[in-house]
Amino acid sequence: MSAQDAAVQERARAFVDEELIPWEVQAELADGELPPEVLERHTRKARELGFGAINMPVELGGDGLTMFQQALVQEQIGRVTNALGWVVHTPAGWLPRVATDHQLETWVKPTIRGERMECYAITEEGAGSDVDAIEATARREGDEYVLTGEKWHVTSANLADHVFFQAKLAGGSDAGSHALFVVDMDTPGVRVVRTPAYTHTLAHHHPILAFDDVRVPGANLIGTEGDGMRFVHEWFRYERLMIAARCCGAAERLITEATAFARSRDAFGHPISEFQAVQFMLADSLTELWAARLITYRTARGIDDGIDLKSQHAQCSLAKLYASEMANRVADRAVQIFGGRGYMRENVAERFYRELRVERIWEGTSEIQRVIIADQLLKRGVQALLDQ
Ligand SMILES: Cc1cc2nc3c(=O)[nH]c(=O)nc-3n(C[C@H](O)[C@H](O)[C@H](O)COP(=O)(O)OP(=O)(O)OC[C@H]3O[C@@H](n4cnc5c(N)ncnc54)[C@H](O)[C@@H]3O)c2cc1C
């Protein structure tokens, strides 16, 4: 780690420890919400520290961190529950390369400045892992597109002011292929169907959104017709690696807290840390965390070094698969070590036990990550994937 990398990591760690962690329990007990002035302070502080748009180029006003530095920051924000770390913003990193000047000025730059916020509408009731099964359509009418469909689990839609909407083209020479649009949330026809409750307690909700014949200008098409899936893959790669990093942070926090508790909790006249059954849970957790961290760091560095895209894709899946499954095992053990306290919402292990479950599901389930890894292994062999 260079001195610059270490400084980025230290800034993120101090921010999480001093500003965010103290608010976790209050957020948990208030449906994930913080007092507005506290949220405003967290947001401002994150920007002051250089974490306003960590993945965006400096030329556009972003923080321009390397992939490795981004993983270090995400690892730290993974140490806090209730998504309080999401004030560290990562706008659509793939967008500047394909955005038109109009799109850069209207959505990209204001989002980097923290004035706008995006959400993603890809998944549908009948299409999750199988993205190609989406039924949403985009029909060209003159200079406009008419967008129709219903999207599920749209994270942050309650806070966002624009949404990336994926659809299949209806009609035209590219009929049936995917296209991605940016849609302002206040466009007529965009409607919240309902906001289901989920396992975790976050201020960011995941509503079901309907798009009822939503008319958008042709200028809202991102890239060209048929480009939709390419962007989704790029986003998935990035998010999978960052999930891995956050899971490492969560596991580190859990092991630290469970170790401290095990030292201080007496049973049968001894601290429970003296019982081998408890020691083994901690030892297994630390061993697995180290493995996950090495995979995550190495994958991030490989991307900075420009390894080929297919290897990046497989390695990001590998990192997400291992780190998310690892963090869930660690959370389960931490709850066990805390005993009855581990079942109380005011306890960090209880919150992580619920929150980490989704890391094995979103941005591609663990099964889908295995499908991707196995596909690349069978096509290219072990060395092509691991020796990069
Ligand atoms: C809290 C939350 C937030 C989300 N946020 C967003 C968002 O912002 N935007 C968005 O578009 N989506 C979002 N999603 C959707 C998420 O990406 C999907 O839930 C996920 O990709 C899985 O799709 P599915 O739920 O339809 O499950 P399915 O695809 O129906 O899968 C069900 C089960 O079948 C298994 N399975 C499916 N195919 C295979 C296969 N080929 N081999 C082996 N097993 C298989 C899966 O692994 C899983 O166990 C979110 C989901 C959640 C829970």
Q: Which atom of ligand 1 is nearest to the CA of 358?
A: 53
| pLDDT 10s digits, 55-64 | 999 999 999 9
What is the model's pLDDT at position 66? 98
| pLDDT 10s digits, 145-178 | 999 999 999 999 999 999 999 999 998 888 999 9
Is residue 329 within 8 A of residue 304, CB to CB? The reply is: no
Is residue 288 within 8 A of residue 248, CB to CB? The reply is: no
Give the separation between CA 77 and CA 81, rounded to whole angstroms.
9
For the beta carbon of residue 344, count every other beta carbon within 10 angstroms. Answer: 11
Strands 178-184 and 162-170: antiparallel
What average pLDDT does range 16-36 have in this prediction? 98
388 has pLDDT over 90 = no
Q: Is 365 in the pocket of ligand 1 (CB under 6 A)?
A: yes
**HSE value, Cβ hemisphere, 13 Å, CA-based, for 290:** 5
Closest Cα to atom 3 of ligand 1:
153
Closest Cα to atom 32 of ligand 1:
129
Query: To test ligand 1's pocket by mutation, which of 125, 185, 365 has the most ligand atoms within 8 angstroms of CB?
Result: 365
Is residue 88 within 8 A of residue 27, CB to CB? The reply is: no
Q: Is 125 in the pocket of ligand 1 (CB under 6 A)?
A: no
| pLDDT 10s digits, 262-310 | 999 999 999 999 999 999 999 999 999 999 999 999 999 999 999 999 9
32 has pLDDT over 80 = yes
**Backbone dihedral angles phi then psi of residue 387, each to the nearest 5 degrees:** -95, 15
Q: What is the mean pLDDT of the chain?
A: 97
| 35 CA distance to ligand 1 middle (Å) | 32
Q: Is 129 in the pocket of ligand 1 (CB under 6 A)?
A: yes
232 has pLDDT over 90 = no
| pLDDT 10s digits, 102-120 | 999 999 999 999 999 999 9
365 has pLDDT over 80 = yes
Confidence of residue 331 (pLDDT cuts 50, 70, 90): very high
What is the model's pLDDT at position 354? 98
**3-class SS string, the chain:** CCHHHHHHHHHHHHHHHHHHHHHHHHHHHCCCCCCHHHHHHHHHHHHHCCCCCCCCCHHHCCCCCCHHHHHHHHHHHCCCCCCHHHHCCCCCCCHHHHCCHHHHHHHHHHHHCCCCCEEEECCECCECCCHHHCCCEEEEECCEEEEEEEECCCCCCCCCCEEEEEEEEECCCCCCCEEEEEEECCCCCEEEEECCCCCCCCCCCCCEEEEEEEEEEHHHEECCCCCHHHHHHHHHHHHHHHHHHHHHHHHHHHHHHHHHHHHHCEECCEEHHHCHHHHHHHHHHHHHHHHHHHHHHHHHHHHHCCCCHHHHHHHHHHHHHHHHHHHHHHHHHHHHHHHHHHHCCCCHHHHHHHHHHHHHCCCCCHHHHHHHHHHHHHHHHHHHHHCC
- Both tokens of 35, joined, read 């007092």
Q: Which atom of ligand 1 is nearest to the CA of 121?
A: 11
What is the model's pLDDT at position 79? 98
| 172 CA distance to ligand 1 middle (Å) | 30
| 132 CA distance to ligand 1 middle (Å) | 13
Q: Is 358 in the pocket of ligand 1 (CB under 6 A)?
A: yes
| 123 CA distance to ligand 1 middle (Å) | 8
What average pLDDT does range 67-92 have in this prediction? 97
For residue 336, the one-letter residue type is Q
Q: Which atom of ligand 1 is nearest to the CA of 157?
A: 8
Query: To test ligand 1's pocket by mutation, which of 123, 162, 192 has the most ligand atoms within 8 angstroms of CB?
Result: 123
What is the model's pLDDT at position 226? 85
Q: Is 207 in the pocket of ligand 1 (CB under 6 A)?
A: no
Give the separation between CA 100 and CA 219, rounded to whole angstroms.
8
CA 323-132-126 angle, to 5 degrees, is 85
| 153 CA distance to ligand 1 middle (Å) | 10
Is residue 325 within 8 A of residue 245, CB to CB? The reply is: no
384 has pLDDT over 90 = no
Is residue 107 within 8 A of residue 98, CB to CB? The reply is: no
For the beta carbon of residue 173, count every other beta carbon within 10 angstroms. Answer: 8
Closest CA to 210 of 233, 234, 194, 228: 194
| pLDDT 10s digits, 332-362 | 999 999 999 999 999 999 999 999 999 999 9
What average pLDDT does range 309-318 have in this prediction? 95
Q: Is 204 in the pocket of ligand 1 (CB under 6 A)?
A: no
Closest CA to 370 of 324, 333, 331, 327: 324
